[in-house]
């Protein structure tokens, strides 16, 4: 009998204990239970409600802004109070008291849809008092931008700033209050956004236009030179307009074309010319040489730079010389030494013929023009007309204004000093057979190098119009060059 009594007593005690604990947990939460922010393990639902009410009385909301600064709203300032929703009781009713052995050592966490009551007008006033609305605290948003500096472009990121949107801030704070949250971090929607960001289409299109221009590099095909318009050079010519469209800066484009002209134009340049006598004379003036057409080159540049692809070409010339060498003259040319009254005609580097001449009468202010010129055209059976003369010639080869090579059957002799007192009206008089031979063998465009070995003063109109090297303005005696 005793053998069965003790176990029965133990079972009875355990049963009483189990049932007692089951009854207890029918009215009390399991240990380590937390509803919202309230720890209510082994407490009743009334305790949870009362505790939430008490927390409501002491309620404070921490508001964190974009800068990471925190601002506090105190519930008493706007009559904040907790309104029970009955969820505390529902949680306890769903708790199975008879399952306590499996749950007393577990963690139990519940979030409830609490509701609160507060004075919205008072809340709005307190929100408005937050320093995040102060002018000296607010940083205006700044749009993204594209800048061209140091011959390259840079995308400038937008600056978000912290200019507040009051309605959205109030909305997010009220949501936190309604949910009985103790803290809230304001979202990006609470701030005025920049209108243009680095990812905006207008920025992407601007960059695309810039890159298209910068892809249009140009290599100029100029003998003896390595002239390139690089991406960096192109970037320096660009202007970003207020609407983020990209255009060429006309002044900078013009400046570059002027650089081309200044560097590669040889029109009327002073050239060191090795004479047939073996010495070197410096002769400039005239109209011979390379001339870049600035207007046409500018227009072509605009087309090339809009193309978005590398280009290789010559500059657009208004006038071309025979070749690109230090003097541009090449090895086919006419040389006239006015001082020696002699002419040489070279073809392909070899002396083709030479002859004495009679040039313009210096004493009558008809001195022949000096400089580097070219044969403009050839004409048979021409009549040369001036104010005091009319002369028929068989072969006329003008090279400067109305000055040219021609036959002069009326001259009784050539060479010597005849030109100083009995010279021509400016043309170069040649023996008829010499004029005929030159006419038959010379091409238009052939350079003509004409020079004096001693200083002379040319004041006539032909010298002025042909840009003669020794032209001097008649009014002040100042050399034109």
Q: Is residue 148 part of a domain?
A: no
- The pair of structure tokens assigned to 306 is 């809009």
How far, in Å, CA of 357 to CA of 415, rounded? 5
Q: Summarize the chain as % helix, strand, coil (round to 5).
A: 30, 25, 40
182, 250: one domain? no
Claim to verify: residue 235 and residue 347 sit in the same structural domain: no
Quote the CA–CA distance of 281 and 409 in Å, as a whole number. 31
pLDDT of 189 reads 96
DSSP state of 289: S
Confidence of residue 1 (pLDDT cuts 50, 70, 90): low
Residues 25 and 169 in one domain: yes
Strands 447-451 and 371-374: antiparallel
pLDDT at 480 over 50: no
Percent of the chain at pLDDT > 70 equals 96
Task: List, in sequence order, every residue forming a beta bridge with 292; answer none if it has no partner.
Answer: 317
Q: Taking all residues of the chain, what is their mean pLDDT, rounded to a whole number?
A: 91
- The answer to the question of residue 301 being in a domain is yes
- Examine the fold and report which residue of 192, 217, 251 is the final residue of a domain before the chain moves on: 192
291 and 440 assigned to the same domain: no
pLDDT > 90: what percent of the chain? 71
Would you say residue 197 lies in a domain? Answer: no
- Give the per-residue pLDDT at 56: 67
Query: Do 44 and 183 belong to one domain?
Result: yes
Residue 280 near residue 339, CB atoms below 8 Å: no
Instruction: Annotate 204-229 with b (16+ C-beta within 10 A) or e (fewer).
Output: eebeebbeebbebbbebebeeeeeeb
Average pLDDT of the residues in 311-324: 94
Q: Do residues 341 and 361 lie in contact, with contact meaning Cβ atoms separated by under 8 Å?
A: no
Please give the pLDDT value at position 476: 57
- Same domain, yes or no: 68 and 137: yes
For residue 481, the model assigns a pLDDT of 43
Question: Who has greater pLDDT, 45 or 158?
Answer: 158
The secondary element (H helix, E strand) that includes residue 407 is strand 403-407
**Is 479 contained in some domain?**
no
Query: What does the pLDDT read at residue 114?
Result: 63
- Which is higher by pLDDT, 205 or 385? 205
Domain containing residue 433: CATH number: 2.40.440.10
Q: Are residues 179 and 206 in the same domain?
A: no
For residue 316, pLDDT over 70 is answered with: yes
Whether residue 481 is contained in a domain is answered as no
- Residues near 5 by Cβ (< 8 Å), separated by ≥ 6? none
Q: Report the distance separating Cα 192 and Cα 132, nearest Å.
A: 13
Mind giving me the DSSP string for 36-55?
TTEE-TT--HHHHHHHHHHH
Residues 6+ apart with CB under 8 A from 182: 37, 59, 60, 61, 62
How many structural domains are present in the chain?
3
Residues 6+ apart with CB under 8 A from 384: 390, 391, 392, 393, 396, 402, 406, 427
Q: What is the mean pLDDT of residues 20-25?
A: 80
Q: In 28-132, at which residue ranges do the beta strands (DSSP E only) sit?
A: 33-35, 38-39, 60-64, 70-74, 81-83, 108-110, 115-117
Q: CA-based Rg of the chain, rounded to a whole angstrom? A: 51
Q: Give the pLDDT of residue 447.
A: 97
What mean pLDDT is predicted for residues 417-426?
Answer: 91
Pair (39, 176) in one structural domain: yes
> Does residue 99 lie within any of the structural domains?
yes
Residue 291 shares a structural domain with residue 366: no
> 293 and 340: one domain?
no
Q: How confident is the model at residue 14 (pLDDT cuts 50, 70, 90)?
A: confident
d(CA 296, CA 239): 22
More confident residue, 124 or 19: 124
Confidence label for 3 from pLDDT (cuts 50, 70 and 90) = low
What is the mean pLDDT of the segment spanning 187-202? 96
CB neighbours of residue 408 within 10 Å: 20
233 found inside a domain: yes
pLDDT digits (tens, 9 = 90+) for 227-278: 999 999 999 999 999 999 999 999 999 999 999 999 999 999 999 999 999 9
Question: Which strand (E) or helix (H) includes residue 404?
Answer: strand 403-407
Tell me if 7 is assigned to some domain: no
pLDDT higher at 16 or 167? 167
429: number of Cβ within 10 Å: 26
Structural domain span for residue 349: 333-465
State the pTM of this model: 0.73
114-164 confidence digits (pLDDT tens): 667 888 999 999 999 999 999 999 999 999 999 999 999 999 999 999 999
Of the listed ranges 71-75, 142-146, 386-390, the one predicted with least confidence: 386-390
pLDDT band at 396 (very low <50, low <70, confident <90, very high): very high
One domain, residues 341 and 372: yes
User: Same domain for 395 and 418?
Assistant: yes
pLDDT score, position 435: 97
CB of 132 closer than 8 Å to CB of 71: yes
Place of tokens 């959205």: 168
Average pLDDT in the 352-364 region?
A: 96
Structure confidence at residue 224 (pLDDT) = 87
Q: Which stretches of 117-214 are DSSP H helices?
A: 120-128, 166-178, 201-214
Write the CA distances from 318 to 223, 252, 418, 464, integer angstroms. 17, 22, 39, 21
> Given 297, 319, 341, which residue is the final one in a domain?
319
Q: What is the CATH number of the domain that holds 241?
A: 3.10.20.800
pLDDT-wise least confident of 44-48, 213-217, 338-342, 441-445: 44-48
């Amino acid at each position: 009998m005793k053998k069965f009594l003790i176990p029965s007593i133990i079972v009875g005690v355990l049963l009483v204990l189990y049932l007692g604990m089951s009854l207890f947990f029918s009215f009390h939460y399991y240990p380590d239970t937390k509803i919202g922010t309230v720890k209510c393990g082994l407490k009743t639902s009334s305790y949870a409600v009362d505790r939430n009410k008490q927390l409501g009385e002491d309620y404070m909301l921490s508001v964190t802004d974009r800068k990471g600064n925190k601002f506090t709203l105190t519930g008493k300032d706007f009559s904040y109070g907790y309104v029970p929703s009955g969820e505390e009781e529902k949680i306890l009713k769903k708790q199975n008291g008879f399952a306590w052995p499996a749950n007393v050592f577990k963690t139990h966490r519940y979030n409830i849809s609490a509701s609160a009551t507060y004075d919205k007008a008072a809340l709005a006033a307190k929100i408005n008092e937050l320093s995040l609305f102060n002018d000296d605290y607010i940083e205006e948003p700044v749009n993204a931008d594209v800048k061209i500096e140091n011959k390259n472009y840079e995308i400038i990121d937008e600056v978000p700033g912290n200019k507040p949107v009051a309605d959205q801030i109030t909305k997010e704070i009220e949501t936190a209050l309604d949910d009985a949250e103790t803290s809230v971090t304001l979202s990006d929607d609470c701030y005025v956004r920049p209108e243009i960001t680095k990812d905006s289409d207008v920025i992407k299109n601007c960059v695309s236009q810039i890159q298209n221009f910068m892809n249009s590099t140009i290599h100029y095909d100029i003998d003896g030179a390595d002239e390139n318009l690089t991406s960096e050079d192109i970037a320096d010519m660009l202007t970003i307009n207020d609407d983020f469209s990209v255009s060429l800066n006309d002044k900078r484009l013009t400046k570059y074309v002027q650089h081309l002209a200044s560097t590669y134009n040889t029109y009327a340049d002073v050239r060191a010319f090795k004479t047939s006598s073996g010495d070197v004379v410096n002769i400039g003036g005239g109209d011979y040489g390379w001339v870049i057409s600035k207007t046409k080159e500018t227009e072509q540049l605009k087309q090339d730079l809009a193309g978005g692809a590398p280009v290789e070409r010559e500059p657009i010339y208004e006038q071309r010389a025979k070749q690109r060498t230090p003097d541009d003259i090449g090895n086919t040319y006419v040389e006239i030494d006015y001082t020696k009254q002699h002419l040489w005609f070279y073809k392909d580097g070899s002396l083709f013929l030479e002859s004495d001449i009679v040039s313009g009468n210096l004493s009558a202010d008809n001195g022949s023009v000096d400089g580097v010129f070219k044969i403009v055209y050839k004409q048979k059976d021409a009549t040369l007309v001036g104010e005091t003369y009319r002369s028929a010639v068989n072969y006329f080869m003008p090279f400067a204004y109305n000055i040219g090579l021609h036959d002069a059957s009326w001259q009784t002799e050539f060479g010597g000093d005849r030109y100083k007192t009995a010279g021509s009206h400016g043309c170069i008089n040649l023996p008829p057979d010499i004029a005929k031979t030159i006419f038959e063998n010379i091409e238009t465009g052939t350079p003509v190098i004409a020079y004096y070995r001693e200083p002379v003063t040319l004041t006539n109109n032909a010298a002025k119009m042909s840009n003669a090297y020794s032209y001097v303005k008649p009014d002040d005696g100042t050399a034109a060059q």
